Amino acid sequence: MFTGIVTDIGEITKLTPTAQGQLHRLRIACSYDRATIADGASIACNGVCLTVVASGTEGDKDSTQKTWFDVDTAAETLSMTTARHWAVGTKLNLERALKIGDELGGHIVAGHADGIAKILKRDDLPDMARFELSTTRELARFIAPKGSITLDGVSLTVNTVQDVAFSVLIIPHTLDVTTLSAWRAGSEVNIEVDLMARYAARLTEMK
């Protein structure tokens, strides 16, 4: 489980596809302490929970040394998320898995992206940025004003909702410490709807 509070921005430094194109192995550089990354650990990458299969360091033992970890993206992940567009140089919002006792700064996030939202419009305001996005009708029914949503791994509060479109407001700090500053009209982002909304909808359907 995660909280949607990004703790680092990683960068893909190597991508190795299989011959069938059904699996991509990614190498992601980050600033995490290598000693804290175990094989089998879960790290959310742009909101997608991926499993570490290897890790290490490269560079001299000084300020230039970087930690890296490898993850595999399977066919379903490639088909349902923006991972299919990732390439060497792509920057990713990273979050380590939640530990018992950690502060829940955002909201409960599973790291299982439900699909993709498309940015329709960006407005740069004096003290924040406003993004208008759209998603599928299936996912839109779980989105409510003032509710929680995860976009590219970032826990956000929904501002407005109109049919399949919704908007979010991003404060300067979030723009500074995540990849959201690079969002533009036409960009695609991973979306995970609020688990509480999904369970509430399911309970209603069962009545």
- Dihedral of CA atoms 60, 65, 67, 73 in degrees, nearest 10, equals -90
User: How much is the pLDDT for 21?
Assistant: 66
Whole-angstrom distance, CA of residue 154 vs CA of residue 141: 20
Report residues of the chain scoring pLDDT below 70: 19, 21, 60-63, 206-207
Q: Please choose, from the candidates 84, 159, 168, the residue with its C-alpha nearest in 3D space to the C-alpha of residue 129.
A: 168
User: How much is the pLDDT for 168?
Assistant: 98
User: How much is the pLDDT for 175?
Assistant: 95
Helix, strand, coil percentages (3-state) for the chain, rounded to 5, are 20, 45, 35
User: How much is the pLDDT for 122?
Assistant: 97
User: How much is the pLDDT for 95?
Assistant: 97
Residues facing 49 on adjacent strands: 44
Is 115-206 in the same CATH topology as 8-96? yes
User: How much is the pLDDT for 207?
Assistant: 63
Whole-angstrom distance, CA of residue 140 vs CA of residue 107: 19
CATH topology of domain 8-96: Elongation Factor Tu (Ef-tu); domain 3 (2.40.30)
User: How much is the pLDDT for 63?
Assistant: 64
Q: Please choose, from the candidates 185, 204, 186, 207, the residue with its C-alpha nearest in 3D space to the C-alpha of residue 196.
A: 204
Query: For the chain, which residues make up each domain, given as ranges?
Result: 8-96, 115-206
Helices (H), 33-114: 75-80
User: How much is the pLDDT for 101?
Assistant: 72
Could you please report the per-residue DSSP string of 124-185?
E-SS-EEEEEE--HHHHTT--TT-EEEETTEEEEEEEEETTEEEEEE-HHHHHHSGGGG--T
User: How much is the pLDDT for 72?
Assistant: 94
User: How much is the pLDDT for 19?
Assistant: 64
| CATH for the stretch 115-206 | 2.40.30.20
> What is the pTM for the complete model shown?
0.91
